[in-house]
Chains A and B, each alone.
Chain A
Amino acid sequence: MTHPWSKRSGSRLGGLGAVGALLLATVAQAALPSTAVGSTAPDEGDPRLEGALLLDATQVKAGGDFRVGVRLRLDPEWHVYWKNPGDSGLATDVAWDAPGITVGDLRWPFPSTFRTPDGFITTHGYHDEVLLFAPAHVSDKATGTLTVSTAVDALACKVHCIPAQLVLSRTVPVGPETVLDAEFAPRFDAAQAQVPVPAGAQGAPRVALALDGTSLTAGKPFTGTLTVTTADGKPFAGNVEDDFFVPGRIAGVDSVTLKRKGPGTFALEGQASSVVPKSEPRLTGALRLGTKATGFTAVEVDTALAPVVAAAGAPVAGADPLKVPSVKDALGKVKPAVAAAPVAAEAPMGLGLALLFAFLGGALLNLMPCVFPVLAIKAYGFTRMVAEEKGKVAPHAAAYAGGILATMLLLAGAVLAVRAGGNSVGWGFQFQEPLFVAGVSAVVVAFALNLFGVYTLGTDGTALAGKVDQSHGLLRSAGEGVLAVVLATPCSAPLLGTAVGFAFAAGAATVVAVFVALGLGLALPFCLLVLVPGLAKRLPKPGMWMERGKQFLGFALLGTTVWLVWVMGGLAGVDGMARLLAFLIAVGLGTWLYGQSQGLEGGRRGVTVALAVLVLVGAGAVALRFEEAQASLETRGAVASSHGGSQPWDEAAVTAALAAGQPVFVDFTADWCLTCKFNERTVLSRDDVRQAFLKHNVAFFVADWTRRDARITTKLAEHGRAGVPMYLVLSPGAPDKPEVLNELLTADSVIQAVQRAAECGSPLKGGSVVCARP
């Protein structure tokens, strides 16, 4: 069933050429019922546009496919518009109402390009005649006759424009076979041949874009090279005609053109909009390869461009283009404008230092609130082993470390893969994905239930009954290593930010090396216990307290889920939280069933396990559908209000505040970042800190990275960071030298930094102050 007037994207005909138009014009209008034809766009009494509702079949069968279309014929010099009309005009809109028929997306043949004589205004559309059509599928239960109706809303223009609306309708009988319309089916085939095929589809040419640079700068031109290869992998050798490329509407990009450079290569030139878009722009549009002599292949292009960043120094607040030669001369050393590309070359550290930082950072992670519960569990298990099975300690330590390292390598791989896909990522980026958060929550709950004794892990329950080591197989040790890493990612410990930031800006080998160092650091405290013989003996003796302790730690883990549910709230709203909780209950039920099965044998056991899996999979399929919460602004607003007087981060607003003489404090944070939340609650909301902000009239900005935000990722990279938290203090006297505060804030450090920024001098009061940061 389609909904009445279901919107199927617009339509376009075009490009059929005068010959085709003439041929088509010979089609007898009389063949169509009177309800299926109409004329509109009356211009001094003379209609400029004629429309006809065409079907490619005279009879359709239930469950079969056919095509529905609208043929538009225009008076000479008149045109209607493509789905991207260009600088002016309005996309042609075709809606369908066809009970018993499902109508697919509208197919747009490759359009013509129209320009005003001075070239100032460019539009895309169709003249003479075009057939805009869509695939249609007949319901299995269809009988009798079906009615197809269409509503066309177009704008017909020559010099002036006339809105054109048509409502057309006709019926088609349902029969045992689909009978093609000998007259119209070929028209549909001809129009189909003009419709661009997606690049890379089977048999279609492939398109690859190499951009000159890793990001676009708002308001600035950009360039790149588009390479077209044929389906068999050879460069496209043919030529192209004028206007072979029509761009789609690209948010964040004002204009984009392609010029042929050589066989299969095209120079791309574009201009980024002056306003930074919300998401990374994609190059969309249609290419028509070939010439009239060789025949055409139209290809649909849809490939990632690059994130748009604000111009260096981005002074949108009335500042940027002010050309004041005298000041410029006085300063004498104005750097050329450079794109704010992620810093790699300027990263102020070598590989050795980065590895050391990563190692120490990894070790410190053990003390962060995210990982601590895991470490505690590990230490508990270890105590037990030391007392009872000395020989097995080393293998368990190795398994734990192995779990950590394997996960770190996986993470490094993921980072490289995502980066190869042209996206920038940061430490903890996976917590921007609701499904990942749900997965981690499930693992944490399952682990907690394991500690409560609901089921056992890594060993066969019946065989091991009575064995001391019941709950502590090697597999479990490895699993704990994995969990430690997964939970560690949202906690960016001191030192870690710098090290990972360095890695993300460097080559693949460095990424892997830094992640391995990080893993070794994370595994260090536990391995120390093994390597230093005396140390283990100092641990308390095992006893009944251990069983209680184990169960208690289960609650500590459950505490982690409170935080995860809260993170989900930021990502997917209240609905998302409810869905997650419902799913977690199913996880509880599933693991409980599994625990029950461990006491059973044979077929009954199989049935119970199957039931457990069914519960999990079923609940997951029903519950795990997260929709992005409302506009990200809402979350930002919520974060902002939590420490009063703050505003969402925006490069332009920062520049404006600095220009107004205000010191600026930027809090790069995310809901899932515990270190950030800790700092916000214990330091940034303190009275003395707030008063210092008030006293120095500090503009407080919150950059919320809870969800993907390319601008923030780029800004982090500029300071050699890959994740939050990051705290920047900018002085109006030296706006290009922000002070980066330590990841773990103290009230003193914040107050002093703010004071330094304020004292550095406002140019409004002090004239041409240039303040070098100590």
Chain B
Amino acid sequence: MKQVFKALALTAAFVSAPVFAADTAEVGKPAPAFTLKDEAGKAHSLSEYKGKVVVLEWTNPECPFVKRHYEAKTMQNTQKGFDAKKVVWLTVDSSSTHDAKSAAEWKKKEGLSQPVLIDTDGKVGKSYAAKTTPHMYVIDAQGVVRYAGAIDNDPRGKEATKVNYVQTAVDALLNGKQVPTATSEPYGCSVKYKS
């Protein structure tokens, strides 16, 4: 009976209703909805990207792990590898001490193109249970979280061969396949939430 209900609910959702947002991010479940302003003051809502794969990257430009990945161009190259028509990359900064100005400076210094969303009060970060910087999420075209965790399998930056989990997840989604690694242990600094 339960499955019947779920199948019907699912059908109803596909046919008529938008995807309902959940309270917390969990792989296999709809991503929590949010609207945040970027460093230029432009508002971004998750719902406006329905139909595209969305990559969320939690950042803190001062964190050594983030610095390392931007120096090694991990983030830039991963982003560049995606078809911009199908994939949206949003960087989120939930550090309590950061604002639009600091984000704009960081973007300029690194020459970044993606929007950096400002989440100074940490509400969105906490709704995603984002705990480290970097902490990555991949959301499919229907708004369901399909990957949560680290950018790759190389916390110490020493491995010769790396697996880029975000790249793998996005590629799988675009090819209609199942994401091979749906979760991994994120590594890095803690998110500096307001407390």
On A, residues with C-beta under 8 Å from B are 85, 87-90, 93, 116-118, 120-121, 123, 153, 155, 157, 159-163, 219, 249, 273-275, 312-313, 315-324, 326-328, 331, 333-335, 337, 650, 652-653, 655, 658-659, 732, 734-736, 763-764, 768, 770
Q: Name the A residues within 8 Å of B132 (CB-CB).
A: 87-88
User: Which of B26-34, B38-46, B108-116 contacts the other chain?
Assistant: B26-34
Interface residues of B (CB under 8 A from A): 1-15, 17, 19-20, 22, 26-30, 62-65, 126, 131-132, 140, 142-144, 155-156, 178, 182-183, 185-193, 195
Are B10 and A318 in contact (CB-based, < 8 A)?
A: yes
Nearest CB in chain B to that of A311: its residue: B28
CA distance A503 to B186 in the complex (A): 44
Q: What is the CB-to-nearest-CB distance from B29 to chain A, in angstroms, rounded to a whole number? A: 5
A736-B10 contact, Cβ under 8 Å, with A89-B190, A90-B187, A650-B178: no
Structural contact, B64 and A161, CB atoms closer than 8 A: yes
What 15 additional pairs, Cβ within 8 angstroms, besides A116-B193, A317-B28, A763-B7? A87-B131, A118-B195, A219-B26, A313-B3, A313-B6, A318-B142, A319-B9, A326-B12, A327-B5, A328-B5, A331-B1, A331-B8, A333-B1, A659-B14, A735-B6
A160 touches B11 (CB 8 A): no
Contact B1 A736 (CB under 8 A): yes
Which residues in A have their C-beta under 8 angstroms from that of B28?
Answer: 219, 274-275, 316-317, 320, 652
| Residues of chain B within 8 A of A770, CB atoms compared | 4
Contacts of A160 in B (CB 8 A): 62-63, 189, 192
Which of A120, A273, A335, A735 is the one whose CB lies under 8 Å from B193? A120
How far apart sit A697 and B17, CA to CA, in the bound complex (Å)? Answer: 26
Question: Which of B10, B12, B13 is most buried by chain A, counting CB atoms within 10 A of its CB?
Answer: B10
* With A335-B1, A735-B4, A736-B2 as contacts: A321 and B190 at CB distance below 8 Å: no
Could you count the A-B residue pairs with CB atoms below 8 Å apart for me: how many are there? Answer: 160
**Could you list 21 examples of A-B contacts with CB < 8 Å?**
A89-B187, A120-B195, A163-B64, A219-B29, A275-B28, A317-B28, A317-B144, A318-B142, A320-B29, A322-B10, A324-B12, A327-B5, A327-B9, A334-B1, A659-B7, A659-B10, A659-B11, A659-B14, A735-B7, A736-B1, A736-B4
Q: Least Cβ distance of B148 to chain A in Å?
A: 9
Query: Closest approach, in angstroms, between the C-beta of B97 and any C-beta of chain A?
Result: 9
Give the distance to chain B from A243, nearest Cβ to Cβ, in Å.
17
Give bound CA distance, A93 to B20, whole Å: 43
Residues of B within 8 A of A273 (CB): 27, 183
Query: For the complex, what is the distance from the CA of A159 to the CA of B189, rounded to whole Å?
Result: 9
Those 4 A-B pairs whose CB atoms lie nearest each other, nearest first: A316-B28, A736-B3, A88-B190, A117-B195
Whether the pair B26, A274 counts as a contact (CB closer than 8 A) is yes
Nearest CB of B to A645, in Å: 14
User: Could you say which of A319, A655, A732 has the most chain B C-beta atoms within 10 Å of its C-beta?
Assistant: A319
Contact of A157 among B26, B156, B185, B189 (CB under 8 A): B189
Contact A275 B64 (CB under 8 A): no
